[in-house]
A and B are shown apart, each in its own frame.
Chain A
Amino acid sequence: MSQKSWYLNRRELLRGGGIGLSLPFLNGMSFAGGSDRPLPAKRMLVSYFAYGAYMPNGSSGIPAANKPHHDWSWWPCSQPGPLTFNQSSAPFEPLKAEVTYLRGLDHKGGWSMGGHSSGDVFATGADMTEHEKTNNISVDQVAANAQGHQTRYASLTLGTEGGTGSYGSSKTLSHRGPGRPIPSLHKPQDIFNRLFNPYAGKGVEQVRAGLKREASILDLLMENSRSFKNRLGNEDQVKVDEYLDSIRVLEQRVERTSQWTHKSLPQVDTKGLNIEVSHKDPQEYIRCMYDLIFLAFQTDATRFASLMLESEQSQDSEMWNYATYVLGYKGATHDIAHKRPTDYSGKWDRWRAEQHAYFLNRLRDTPEGNGTMLDHTVVLWGSSHPHASHSTKHYPIQLAGGSGLGFKHGNLHAFEGDQKVPLANLFVSMLNAVDVPVERFADSTGNMSQLMS
């Protein structure tokens, strides 16, 4: 996948040829009038890991009641209630008061997709195999639609492989709506430039002039497309509506970008940030992605992010070899999911936990308002490919942060048997916590008041 710089001088671009992108690539941005922020921002991150987690003592992701808890199970403990930690989850022990584990949750829409493919719907809960033919809007985009206008970027979509992927092997968690995946960004340098150096050294006036012309062109394109629409029958007009809608969104982006040029770019502290990191160094790379989200949150460049830490079906990327690089495991990362080697599976989960804990710690160690950044950031971490190769039920799910938004942590909650509720219920609570007053998301049947203080 080729990547392009976010903003180039249009005059040079059009004269000189070569690749060009005049429109901001990131999500819609809107200009917030005032610069003062009396209240800390309310933020959300949805992150995903692939190929499941190790759950040795329980065939369907639920630890067996009659056995002692396994030291290397992904679940920190087996009994619902206050958390105790095992080898696998030890990195979260210092964060005990900031994390919650939720067992027995899943998306019904992913049940018949097969383990690997159900990753597609982790953030959307779409029912792709039954009623919906395509994926649907993701939780971060619902939030971005409602609250994204307050920041330069409505949302930030990251992944480790980049792009959209395709049905059954999505490389992004974020979807604008049916059949409209948002390509994830995966190159640190590129992400950094888009976030913090969007004008590529150009003067603001020059940028504005280019945007103005772009807006006029899009306007003329709209007119042309309307005439096309009139030629079509009713059943096909919906397609042109999609097209018109897309052009409209691009116009709005141009407009918002233009407005944001009146506001100075955030100063960002890049100390310790290694944006030239190689995929061959998994720890550095993953932490760099987390760092970029941290910086985006810290500078209030955006409040809603998704991060596909690993995508399923990663055989075309270095992800495939991560377990080899990190642990010396002789096989593809994917093989761990199927073969479940006793000496590697737990260590692999632990390594992933260390990276995620790194991010949570960074948020917790940064004061904000009366508390910390973590208090105002709700972080979902999980997988929809839980334990065995066919399984699509009982996801491993951890929720962290957001104490200042009403979440109460420190427990394992079990939603099994007659307690079972859709994972989408959690999404409803997460959305409510960031001031998105929805009552439903995907197949939700309510919210999760038991997690709220």
Chain B
Amino acid sequence: MKRSMLSGQLFGLVKRWLCACFLWVSGFSLIGNALAEDPASRETFDAKVSPFLQKHCVRCHGGENPKGDLLISRLSDTIAAESDIDHWEMVLERVSSGEMPPEGEPQPSKAATDAVVEWIESGMQDYVSILDQPPTTPHARRLTNFEYQNTIRDLIGFELNLIDRLSKDPVKPYQFNNTAALMRLGPEQVNRYLECARMVMASAIVDPQKPTVHRTYREFKPHGVDKGLGLDEVGVWGNRRHSPATGIGVKEFSSTGEYRIRIKAAAILPPGVEELPLRLVMGFGINVNSATEQIEPVGTVRLRNSPDEPQVFEFRGRIENHPAKPGRVVKGKQLPASMTITPQNLYDDGTLNDGRRDLAMPRAVIEWIEMEVPVVDVWPPTHHTQILFDSSLRVSDPRAYVRQVLKRFMSRAYRRPANQAEVERFLAIHDLVAPELGSMEAAMRETLAMVLVSPQFLYHTTAADDDSLRGYEQASKLSYFLWGSMPDQELFELAADGRLGDQTVVEEQVRRMLADERASDFVDNFATQWLSLRKLKTVPVNRDLFPRFLYYVNAGERRGTEVPYRPTIRDHMHAETVGFVGELIRRNASVLNLIDSDFAYLNQPLAAHYGVDGVKGDALRPVSLTPDHRLGGLLTQGAILIGNGTGTAPHPIYRAVWLREAILGDAVPAPPAEVPALNESVGESAENALTIAELLQQHRKQESCNDCHTRLDPWGIPFEQYNAIGRFQPLVPEAGTRVSGFNRQTHHDLVGYNAYLKSIHTVSVDAKARLPGGFVVDGMRELKDYLLHDRQDEIVENVLRRLLSYAIGRELTWRDRFAVAKLLENGKQRDYKFQDLIVLICNSKTFRGE
């Protein structure tokens, strides 16, 4: 009975293995066998498994020094304990994928392999089914810093930058920082929560009397033209003294509150250019100290109007989020803190490094800039009255009023109705602090700050002690998965009505939530971790080889370093990859688009970089591709190719590791200690350039490396067609030739530089690889085809596993195999559509914790 119930799942799994490793022959006959005899039995072990191990495994995995630390003789002959499973699962994966026995060793027949796979598989399933407990999913998950900031935003109604004030979340490559087991807590962190909570409440609750409004105003006139630009203009390189580009000083401002910045501006646009993105930043100032990030964007406007029709634009934000420059002490007198507002011309057509100057680019004309803080149009502001609402009780029965305020605030902060006992405990805190703090506002600030350091706030999806709260638990699970924040009113209402157990309702909600703006937080956070995108920003790109890739400061103390305070091509690349994943979700397209797609997600600088025509402006959008573009999917995106290169050369091993970890879902072990790194000299000095194939050969010659690298390197070779800055580059210098270096004088402009590249890159790159299992691919196109045809299930399964792991806040184990297999099977029926997969996960027992 048990077996027939599970056969559907078994079928899905077996099919995956067959699909991945062998030619498709007869999945059904296998199932037939499985039903006819008990494949998990001791008899089967003696008859089929043991001889297989003796024949194919023991020679390497036996004796004194078993390879890979796997000693066959230590394997049990039944699967009856957790410790057995760890070992057997490894055997299962290696044998089923065809990785073991390795090439060059006698290969077992398919039937023999199937029998082993089937025995392990059935044994595991039997074991899972006798366990009375499902895999434990953590009930209490501490908010990650990202979730903390978002939750505070939705709780108080405006965003404060809090992440940098907290201890960093633990980050492991290819893992998620919401893994509950990693989220430990210590007094230092609680102390930081305490600081943040007090800061939050100081901003959220204001004093009753209207505060003084601070105003700053500055006008600009075009007189005194400097290098062809009027002194009211901002060119792409900014920086001219006395122009708006150096910013306006703000000497008076409140420490909390909303600000309003207005600016009257227009654009001088050369023919063919339609708009100029003008960004305002405010903070310490961009020309002061390079040590740390000391500005925060105010907002961006796309100017389309000419100086004949200047327009006024308005920005709002919170003054707390902008880092101020502390006042100096002069002759014993403390000077006040100050800030600078700087307008930046962010126009970028991809040619900023070609020596073309401001005059050829669009310029912004600024007539005046004005700032006022705090905004007192409505006083007290809405975020205040949401907490300290109007009520007659306030005067008639202040204590009852405080109780109501607490009940309302706590029920949102706890993401479920707060009970009477809970409210009373905070009333006690209020009573303790109120006499000394004087005003109702001050007392509520302190009391509510304590709500924000209580565990009921810091941990979410807590186990409810009565069933009426189950719905709230589900609401939080959904909102922290898809928004990285607390539930909204609609989810709360559904929770209160007990409707979140209904699969149709959940499906509706998932689709609504994914369409909401907050879902972009989820996509960014999820994709950045899953695809290990952070590396992109830290790879040192070789400026001698790629002088035009990054935007450099061209003068002054920071000359030659990456421009720090404007979005660079690397920022666009990060946005490209995240935006691409987001677009697949938005379209509900098949997740196989991750491997190859008929569109890319680009803006003008990116399009210029990749060589795609016809994309104007800085907004990212889907752009149709033709095969000539050599783009599509994740594998050819700059974020992946640069992040997994050395900045000088493509790095086939990094890229192979990425492909196996992020796309195929394998865990690739780190290189052992004392292994020298792959020599970086490919292209580094043109004189001793070796081809990558030669280098890898050198690497593999070392016995210690060979074991892993024969399984790893081939995956990286097809990526060789794409260079260290993520561009398709099918030609490389000929092996063994001496190539003269790049000369800044001779090759000073783009034309000269391209001529230089052409002169050194003369032969086709070798991108042909024999993949583990024997399939040969030549280049990226063939690799993609192979992945799409032969590894489909593996790829989708990996996406499912990543999503599920992120959603439930723990790493998956062998116990989840069957749940994932079921999701895969159901996903297949829905053509692996991205949104549908997310819906399936949200309706799965694993996610719901049933």
Contacts and interface: CB of A to CB of B under 8 A. Distances in A.
Interface of A: 1-2, 4, 11, 13-23, 25, 59-60, 111-114, 129, 133-134, 163-168, 176-183, 213, 216-217, 220-221, 223-225, 227-229, 231-233, 235-236, 239-240, 242-243, 245-247, 249-250, 253, 279-280, 313, 315, 317-318, 332, 334-335, 338, 388-393
Contacts of A315: 538
Contacts of A134: 170, 182, 184
B422 interface: yes
A279 B292 CA distance: 11
B202 A18 contact: yes
A290 B676 CA distance: 34
A20 B540 contact: no
Nearest to A2: B165
Contacts of A112: 669-670, 672-673
Contact of A232 (B139, B184, B433, B436): B139
B437 A11 contact: yes
Given A17-B202, A182-B188, A390-B675, A233 B433 contact: no
A133 B181 contact: yes
Contact of A129 (B170, B422, B670): B670
A231 B418 CA distance: 13
A240 B140 contact: yes
A14 B430 CA distance: 13
B189 A17 contact: no
Interface stretch (B456-464, B737-745, B833-841): B456-464
A367 B432 CA distance: 51
Contact of A176 (B188, B199, B429): B188
B813 interface: no
Contacts of B436: 11, 213
Contacts of B113: none
A183 B142 CA distance: 19
B169 interface: yes
B255 interface: yes
A332 B455 contact: no
B269 to A, nearest CB: 36
B454 A180 contact: no
A121 B5 CA distance: 49
Given A18-B199, A220-B428, A240-B140, A180 B680 contact: no
A112 B680 CA distance: 21
Nearest to A169: B171
Contact of B291 (A223, A317, A390): A317
A418 B455 CA distance: 51
Nearest to A164: B167
Contacts of A133: 181-182
Given A60-B674, A229-B455, A318-B291, 12 more contacts: A15-B438, A19-B195, A176-B188, A180-B188, A182-B186, A224-B455, A225-B454, A232-B140, A243-B190, A249-B186, A279-B291, A390-B674
B672 A388 contact: no
B184 A179 contact: yes
Contacts of B425: 220, 223-224, 227
B677 A246 contact: no
A388 B674 CA distance: 8
A333 B570 CA distance: 22
A239 B199 CA distance: 25
B445 interface: yes
A444 to B, nearest CB: 19
Interface residues of B, number: 75
Contacts of B292: 317
Contacts of B186: 176-177, 179-182, 242, 246, 249
A339 to B, nearest CB: 8
B465 interface: yes
6 contacts: A17-B199, A113-B670, A176-B186, A213-B432, A220-B428, A390-B673
B445 A14 contact: yes
Nearest to B421: A227
Contact of B455 (A217, A233, A240, A392): A240
B457 to A, nearest CB: 10
B439 interface: yes
Given A236-B463, A239-B140, A392-B673, A332 B540 contact: yes
A142 to B, nearest CB: 15
Given A111-B672, A112-B673, A228 B185 contact: no
A327 B670 CA distance: 34
A17 B256 contact: yes
Contacts of B703: none
Contacts of A163: 167-168
Contacts of A393: 673-674
A166 B169 contact: yes
A179 B463 contact: no
B671 interface: yes
Nearest to B676: A388
B185 A180 contact: yes
Contacts of A246: 185-187, 189-190
B164 interface: yes
A232 B463 contact: yes
B442 A14 contact: yes
B203 interface: yes
A231 B195 contact: no
Nearest to B540: A332
Contact of B454 (A1, A20, A228, A280): A228
Contacts of A235: 136, 138-139
Contacts of B202: 16-18, 20
A382 B87 CA distance: 38
B180 to A, nearest CB: 8
B677 A166 contact: no
B538 A4 contact: no
A234 to B, nearest CB: 10
Nearest to A394: B674
A164 B168 contact: yes
Nearest to B142: A239
A174 to B, nearest CB: 10
A200 B531 CA distance: 47
A11 B439 CA distance: 11
B522 interface: no
Given A60-B674, A392-B673, A335 B540 contact: yes
The 8 tightest CB contacts between A and B, nearest first, are A179-B184, A17-B202, A180-B186, A249-B187, A246-B190, A236-B140, A166-B168, A111-B673
B463 A19 contact: no
A249 B190 CA distance: 10
Nearest to B181: A133
Contacts of A1: 164-165
Most-contacted residue by chain B among A11, A217, A249, A389 (CB, 10 A): A217
B172 interface: yes
A178 B170 CA distance: 12
A17 B205 CA distance: 9
B184 A178 contact: yes
Interface string B412-454: 0000000001100110110011001111001001100010011
B688 interface: no
Given A21-B195, A177-B186, A217 B429 contact: yes
B655 interface: no
Contacts of A217: 429, 432-433, 446, 450
B164 to A, nearest CB: 6
Given A213-B432, A332-B540, A243 B458 contact: yes
A276 to B, nearest CB: 10
B206 to A, nearest CB: 9
Contacts of B189: 180, 246
A179 B438 CA distance: 40
B649 to A, nearest CB: 13
Contacts of A389: 676-677
A38 B77 CA distance: 67
A15 B256 CA distance: 13
A167 B456 contact: no
Contact of B671 (A180, A181, A240, A390): A390
B674 A391 contact: yes
